[in-house]
């Protein structure tokens, strides 16, 4: 199914604006990050200028968002359905697949794979998981349910539990991380967040198991900031194993995005971040769900192996 081409003329009031600000005003439902990704992949300008987020608009110009067909071989991979309810389903998202179309991945995003699998073009994401995060993902099959679930997440009415294997030994049995999350101003990676001045954020945690050099934690995010768990764990000195964005220099992530190298291969460590959404629950007067995803066996493997590698150094 093709996507329409959209054209936005540059009005008098728009002259001098940055391209990303202009498009965010035209499409407010998209985050600034999504806008910038779209600019790099799909935006054309009627004047001679490099297409980038900071490009300044010119009088009489036209900004066009074009459909760009991408050469994608469809993945022959089923998305496991954990359970179904009235107007929704919970799936077990695999690690490594983005939940929605992004950059060069469109048809092989979880939502489009599910639409083909279920034969239902009305399926909508109720929330998001990072590309390398696995586990429970809620999907609505109609607008009304999508609105109900989205509002529940926004209003912090949904109980979420994650499992992570983190670097180092966490000594306490349980605790709470209360640190604001905001943009990492000194990072070359636009999407990177940090425990700096920003939105108040809270993550509860307790130890599930300890190795000699790694710890398995169960985490309870009580707010829903972008990359919150990963930022909080980095901030306390225990980043998620396999995470290329947090607890590492920018270069590691940028090299991966550029297709130059994956430092995790050189290190012999996990080739994904060991973060898993283990449980999602929500209950209201007219709605109830309690969805659980089994922990990937690799988490226990890396808890023990990381400890063994550390001991051998």
Match 């067909």 to its residue by tokens: 69
Distance CA 218, CA 161 (A): 7
Runs of H (alpha helix) within 248-291: 250-257, 263-267
Distance CA 127, CA 114 (A): 15
Answer yes or no: are the C-beta atoms of 99 and 125 closer than 8 Å: yes
Catalytic (active site) residue 130: yes
**Closest residue by Cα to residue 237 from 161, 175, 295:** 175
Active-site residue among 14, 20, 92, 130? Answer: 130
Name the β-bridge partners of 281: 159, 290
Pairing of strands 134-140, 275-283: parallel
Maximum CA pair distance of the chain? 66
For residue 228, give the 3-state DSSP assignment. helix
**Closest residue by Cα to residue 61 from 24, 14, 6, 5:** 14
Measured from the Cβ of residue 71, the count of other Cβ atoms closer than 10 Å reads 5
- Catalytic amino acids? 130
């Amino acid at each position: 199914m093709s996507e329409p081409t959209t054209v936005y003329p540059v009005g008098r009031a728009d002259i001098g604006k940055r391209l990303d600000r202009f498009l965010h005003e035209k499409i407010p439902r998209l985050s600034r990050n999504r806008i910038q990704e779209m600019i790099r992949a799909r935006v054309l300008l009627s004047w001679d200028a490099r297409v980038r987020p900071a490009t300044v608009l010119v009088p009489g110009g036209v900004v066009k968002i074009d459909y760009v067909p991408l050469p994608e071989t469809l993945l022959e991979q089923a998305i496991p359905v954990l359970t179904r309810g009235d107007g929704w389903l919970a799936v077990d998202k695999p690690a490594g697949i983005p939940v929605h179309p992004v950059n060069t991945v469109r048809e092989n995003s979880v939502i489009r794979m599910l639409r083909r699998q279920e034969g239902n073009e009305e399926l909508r994401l109720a929330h998001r998981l990072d590309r390398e995060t696995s586990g429970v993902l809620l999907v609505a099959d109609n607008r009304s349910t999508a609105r109900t679930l989205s509002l529940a997440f926004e209003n912090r009415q949904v109980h979420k539990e994650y499992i992570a294997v983190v670097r180092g030994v966490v000594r306490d049995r349980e605790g709470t991380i209360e640190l604001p999350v905001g943009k990492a101003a000194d990072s070359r990676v636009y999407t990177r967040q940090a425990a700096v001045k920003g939105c108040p954020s809270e993550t509860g945690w307790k130890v599930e198991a300890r190795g000699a050099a790694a710890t398995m934690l169960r985490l309870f995010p009580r707010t829903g900031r972008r990359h919150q768990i990963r930022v909080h764990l980095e901030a306390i000195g225990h980043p998620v194993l396999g995470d290329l964005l947090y607890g590492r220099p920018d270069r590691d992530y940028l090299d991966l995005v550029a297709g130059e190298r994956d430092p995790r291969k050189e290190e012999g460590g996990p080739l994904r971040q060991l973060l898993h959404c283990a449980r999602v629950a929500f209950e209201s007067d007219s709605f109830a769900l309690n969805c659980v995803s089994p922990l990937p066996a690799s988490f226990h493997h890396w808890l023990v192996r990381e400890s063994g590698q550390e001991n051998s150094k």
